[in-house]
Structure 1
Amino acid sequence: MNEYFKDNLDNGLRVVSIEMPHLHSAEMACFVNVGGRNEPADLAGISHFLEHIVFRGTREYPSSFQLERAFEAIGGSVNASTDAENTCFHSRLHPGHLGEGAQLFASMLMRPLFSNVDLERKIILEEALEDFNERGEEISPDNLTARLLWPEHPLSQPTIGTRETIARIGSEQLRAHQQRYYTPGNTVIAVAGRIHREAVLQAVQNAFDSWQGGAPPAPRLVSEQPPATPAISWVKDSDSQVNLQLAFRVPGRGDRRCVPLRVLRWVLSWGGTSRLMLRLRENLGLTYNVEANLSLFADCGCFTVDMAVAPENLVRAVEETLVVLEELRQDPVGAEDLAGVIKAYLYDLDFSRDHTDAMTTRYGWGEMAGYLRTIEQDRREVLAVTPQLLLETARELFVPQALKAAIVGPWNTRQRQAVEKALQGFGQ
């Protein structure tokens, strides 16, 4: 049985169908290949702003209330997200209403009214305030490390933009951005659930067949590595905890080490017995939760470790995290430990078959990003991972010159000096 089906419309729109007959619902997702890295510095956040403004009304549904009510009438709950490379509009819907769902998304992507821009700007500015403290200082570790990882590149800009750029964006800029990037050749529509390929294709053809548009400009590629020294962004904040992120710059999703990196992430933080959780939480009580995360873009990526700790635990938490990372660079993961991680990873792959959003992301986003991987392909490659491969990957990528950090909270000078010393000593 095919894991998915792909069809191309004459206008270049790609349609991905994932038949899941054991379910009783469907998910429709529209992936548009535009995000923060496509934006000039003076219009940072425009992709996210456009995602918001589409919900403010379309030619057929002039208000957000009418649009939302139309989705609810077919079992829907429409939402959207924007990241560095992608904007996604998605909704659950009843399998019997694929045609109506496709027409609704076509109205949003092709015929937005660009109304209530100033009102939506106020909402976005409220959302952006979450990343700033009372003194107007950036406190998002993700944004702070991005500036260190990709200096002077669009990837260093916050996806939501800044207060200055959000204030600068108007309906004229939004229309131009929509016309440039919201085109059929730049979009993938994926539908998963109790559906049939033929019905999906017919619904999408009926709704999107008239859509036209050229190829958008390619995003700017990331240049060579930033300065080959550890770098830290320190921000004082009046919180009860210190938020900490360690970030390694790694290659993009086409690199041969992507699968080993995903397994290393699981080795570090897939559950309570993973290395970071076991050492920092269970054995030392330094944090409530610690996570390793992996973000892979077309030409670069980052591997991060995130946690929040009491100020008195900051130095020890950094030191112990570096010890765990150094162990991965020096000693192969034990065969028994690796077998347990791979088993959990394979279970997770199986569990994903029950979730329509996981399937539309795997095959729809994967098609859009040029990184479409079947579950069977993932299974084969994960089973081929060895302790030696993990050791080589850790040694090649968890290196001092690729390490950056962001520390936000009530730290003091003594702690800053101790943390900087620990980071300078990593890998020596």
Structure 2
Amino acid sequence: MNYLPGKTMFSTDQSFMDPPIPDPAYQLTTLANGLLVATFPMPWLHEVGVTLVVRAGSRYEAEDQTGIAHFLEHMLFKGTHSIPDPTALHARLESMAADMNAATGQESNAYWITLPPRYLSNGFTLFCEMFTQPLLAGIETERQVILEEMREDENEKGENINPVTLAGCYLWPDHPLARSVLGTRESIKEIDNAALRAYLQRHYCGANMAVAFCGPVEHAQAVQLTERCLGALPVGSRQNQLPPSPMRPGPHWIAADDQISQFTLNLFFRCGGYQDAFFYHVAALRRLLDDGFSSRLHASLREQRGLVYDVWSSLTGHSDTGVLEVGATVSLENLPIVYAALLEQLQRLIDSPPDAEEWQRLMTRWHANLMTTLDRPSELLERYVSDRLFDTMESLPEAWQRIEQVTPEQLPQVAKTLLHPSNRVLVLVGPHARKKMALLQAIK
């Protein structure tokens, strides 16, 4: 998406000065089978955190197998050949004071375990058996669990009310990114053990995986453990992904009825991904809207006018596409007022750049946020390990260098293109939302 006309010359004359942002201390080793091993030494911690990341997720699913990556994530916790009973498996790990969990996204599966250093070898060995010796037993029980999980995104009629999923069909039409990570009831009912094992063999291979250790652990120890436990996995091949499909011109209006006390109002705007030249311009717009209680959405809608309790803006980036979201939870009597107020704040972004004081505050907080990434293992792993699997790795110093190239004067033109009605998807969820949509469509 081209936001600025012609060639843009970024100004290097920045009045904002702060200490340079360093890279964290870390080491990388690639095993013979292609599996990446990373360590982030943090000797002051009293536990070791290990995260295994797989280039998998809903983006890599066939249309008739939507939800299989998430289904497999559930099934890998259902016992191994050495400990077939899942409760006994968890009891063994918890006897080592280990905590374990997982998450499935659109582009990755992630599994993590934390445990005291003295139990690292035994705990990691058992953890890895989930991927090398999974039993995949009890599929019917877990199928029912997932179908119950789906109910969290449904109304009393069984209709989907998840704003992100509802918007996805318009943001990325006819593309896997538009689908729910959970899949559909129809697809989940058809997935069997053979399909799960085929997905496991295709994606859970050396070229498609990485393991990261954070805490009081030596790199050589981590490499030795990983080689012993995962070194026999086949090399496999890196899974390719379909490029995102073009968005059809909007605005698009989606309503879903849900018998709750308030409405959820979401506006989505498609943008570029991490590597897009204007990704950090969009990130700056997001921070102007929602980055602390003095930011524009909170100051105008909540603090000054008392229209909402919950208001937000978020930016979700993928390797090659992204979406800016603006939203609020709102009562019926305030619904048209809040929508008009949100449009007013978006128009402010288009009309003029932020003043020097607001920009200085934004950049100070942004710099501090990047600096504190050094203290947050999960964010270090995402940036230096997960992103490497998708060839989008950008170090902290590189990120700050790109951010410093963003100037306030560039933002109105970026906002004009990004926030144009043709790029908007509006989702309204609440009581009789379909009937109430006309109230919003009448506001220009």
Q: TM-score, normalised by structure 1?
A: 0.94
Q: Residue 52 of structure 2: SS of its match in structure 1? A: strand
1:170 aligns with 192
1:82 aligns with 104
Residues 47-196 of structure 1: pairs in structure 2 closer than 5 A: 47-196=69-218
Q: Distance in 1 between matches of 2:47 and 2:377?
A: 8
1:275 aligns with 296
Q: Residue 78 of structure 1: SS of its match in structure 2? A: strand
User: For residues 72 and 375 of structure 1, do their structure 2 counterparts lie closer, same or farther at Cα, with a shift above 3 Å needed?
Assistant: farther
8 Å Cα contact 1:53/1:120 also seen in 2? yes
Residues 33-48 of structure 1: pairs in structure 2 closer than 5 A: 33-48=55-70
2:398 aligns with 377
Deviations 1:331-351 (A, max 9, x none): 101121111112112222233
Residues 338-349 of structure 1: pairs in structure 2 closer than 5 A: 338-349=359-370
2:5 aligns with none
Of residues 242, 246, 249, the one that matches 2:270 is 249
Shift of 1:73: 3.4
Shift of 1:382: 2.7
Are residues 1:266 and 2:287 paired? yes
Deviations 1:306-340 (A, max 9, x none): 22111111111111111111111121011211111
User: For residues 269 and 142 of structure 1, do their structure 2 counterparts lie closer, same or farther at Cα, with a shift above 3 Å needed?
Assistant: same
Shift of 1:44: 0.9
8 Å Cα contact 1:287/1:308 also seen in 2? yes
User: For residues 414 and 123 of structure 1, do their structure 2 counterparts lie closer, same or farther at Cα, with a shift above 3 Å needed?
Assistant: closer
Of residues 351, 356, 359, the one that matches 2:380 is 359
Q: Residue 252 of structure 1: SS of its match in structure 2? A: coil
Residues 291-330 of structure 1: pairs in structure 2 closer than 5 A: 291-330=312-351
Deviates more, 1:6-15 or 1:281-290: 281-290
Shift of 1:34: 0.6
Corresponding letter in the other structure for 2:142 = E
Corresponding letter in the other structure for 1:222 = P
Q: Residue 38 of structure 2: SS of its match in structure 1? A: strand
User: For residues 260 and 364 of structure 1, do their structure 2 counterparts lie closer, same or farther at Cα, with a shift above 3 Å needed?
Assistant: same
Q: Distance in 2 between matches of 1:262 and 1:307?
A: 19
CA RMSD, aligned part only? 1.8
8 Å Cα contact 2:287/2:362 also seen in 1? yes
8 Å Cα contact 2:257/2:434 also seen in 1? no
User: For residues 314 and 53 of structure 1, do their structure 2 counterparts lie closer, same or farther at Cα, with a shift above 3 Å needed?
Assistant: same
Corresponding letter in the other structure for 2:32 = D
Q: Residue 148 of structure 1: SS of its match in structure 2? A: helix
8 Å Cα contact 1:180/1:216 also seen in 2? no
Q: Percent identity?
A: 31
Q: Which runs of 5+ in 2 are unaligned?
A: 1-22
Q: Which runs of 5+ in 1 are unaligned?
A: none
Deviations 1:231-268 (A, max 9, x none): 01111221100111100011122101122222222221
Deviations 1:136-188 (A, max 9, x none): 11111111011111111111111001111111111111111111111111001
8 Å Cα contact 2:170/2:248 also seen in 1? no
Shift of 1:217: 4.2
